[in-house]
Amino acid sequence: MNNLNDEMVYGKNPVLELLKSGKPINKVLLLTEGPGGRNQEIIPLLQERTIPYQFVDRQTLDRLTNRERHQGMLAYVAAREYASIEDILTVAEERQEEPFILMLDEIEDPHNLGALLRTVDAVGAHGVIIPKRRSVALTGTVAKTSAGAVEHVAVARVSNLVQTIKELKKKGCWVSGAEAGGKDAFEADLTGPRVIVIGSEGKGISRLLRENCDEIVSLPMRGKVTSLNASVAGSVLLYEVLRQRGVSQ
């Protein structure tokens, strides 16, 4: 998947068949036609599979498809199947390890997600959680940037990060959000069942998600720049969790 067209399927019948096949889909774009439009029949299928969809104008679809015959429908195909939260917890159970999970709040840069997947694989974390909306999905660019890690890391895509955090807490996980103004991450106790939350490149962790974290940790900053790239900050924290757990484990 080296270009945009490799990640797209368009045309009424191709998109419908893609949906019926059960293959992973990141998002569907539909032509704005009103309640009686021809693309209305696809919406129940999208809702049944909880696939995000968006209505756009004809000019947008023409531009994305180089004016080929799209019939008002375009689907972005995922680079691989998404996992569930239970799948991620099962990975930890099978390894006889305490859960070690990375949660990403509205990361939009595919290169950041790809780099983080590579680090998750390197440190032996059990999976990644991303939101269905306002976040980059498992695109071809993400797969390429991950240098193959996308094939080895379980990625769950959920509708509500806050609800997911609450569910993980019930299963014994401790949630550490990365944000400025928190306790020094190198002095914090990051052992035990752990979820590390990294916020978006511009806004950081959303308010409601931050309020549901058990603690906020920060990386010490000694220079004049006040923040780090999301993939850099996430990678440093993931390795700190690995260090505290003991590399031998």
Kindly state the average pLDDT of the residues 194-221. Answer: 91
Residue 6 has pLDDT above 60, yes or no: no
Amino acid at 38: R
Query: Is 196:230 a contact under the CB 8 Å cutoff?
Result: no
Can 4-77 and 85-245 be said to share one CATH topology? Answer: no
pLDDT category at 5 given cuts 50, 70, 90 is very low
**At 209, is the secondary structure helix, strand, or coil?**
helix
Residue 2 banded pLDDT, cuts 50, 70, 90: very low
Contact 107, 200 (CB under 8 A): yes
Question: Tell me, what's the pLDDT at 243?
Answer: 95
Give the pLDDT of residue 35. Answer: 54
What separation in angstroms does the CA of 76 have from each of 30, 38, 224? Answer: 12, 20, 40
Q: Enter the pTM of the model.
A: 0.83
More confident residue, 236 or 33: 236
- Average pLDDT score over residue span 191-201: 93
Asked if pLDDT for residue 242 goes beyond 50, the answer is: yes
How does DSSP classify residue 78?
P
Q: 212-222 burial by CB neighbour count: b if 16+ within 10 A, else e?
A: bbeebbbbeee
- More confidently predicted of 187 and 248: 187
Higher pLDDT, 27 or 69: 27
Tens digit of each residue's pLDDT (9 = 90 or more) over 18-51: 888 888 888 899 988 655 566 777 888 888 888 8
Instruction: State the Cα–Cα distance between residues 173 and 175, nearest whole angstrom.
Output: 6
pLDDT of residue 19: 86
Residue 181 pLDDT level (bands cut at 50, 70, 90): confident
CA distance 242 to 249: 9
| CATH entry 3.40.1280.10 includes domain 85-245 | yes
Contact 219, 228 (CB under 8 A): yes
- Helix (H), strand (E) at residue 21: helix 12-21
97, two tokens: 């390890």
* Residue 84: per-residue pLDDT: 94
Specify the 3-state DSSP secondary structure of 191. Answer: coil
* pLDDT at residue 18 in the model: 85
User: Which pLDDT does position 203 carry in this prediction?
Assistant: 83
Taking 90 as the threshold, does the pLDDT of residue 94 lie above it?
Answer: yes
Query: Does residue 79 surpass a pLDDT of 90?
Result: no
Is the pLDDT higher at 172 or at 18?
A: 172
Which candidate, 117, 104, 116, 101, places its Cα nearest to that of 151?
117
> What number does CATH give the domain 4-77?
3.30.1330.30
Output the pLDDT for position 3. Answer: 36
- For CA atoms 164, 134, 104, 75, the dihedral sign is positive
How confident is the model at residue 211, as a pLDDT? 95
Angstrom distances, CA of residue 177 to CA of 95, 123, 184, 226, 238: 25, 18, 12, 17, 12
Instruction: Of 13, 49, 12, give the one whose Cα is nearest residue 33.
Output: 12
Query: What does the alpha-carbon distance between residue 10 and residue 62 come to, in Å, rounded to a whole number?
Result: 11
- For the segment 70-85, the average pLDDT, to the nearest whole number, is 89
Q: Where are the domains of the chain?
A: 4-77, 85-245
For 163, other C-beta atoms within 10 Å of its C-beta total 11
How does strand 127-131 pair with strand 100-104? parallel
SS3 98: coil
Give burial (CB, 10 Å; 0-12/13-18/19+) of 116.
buried
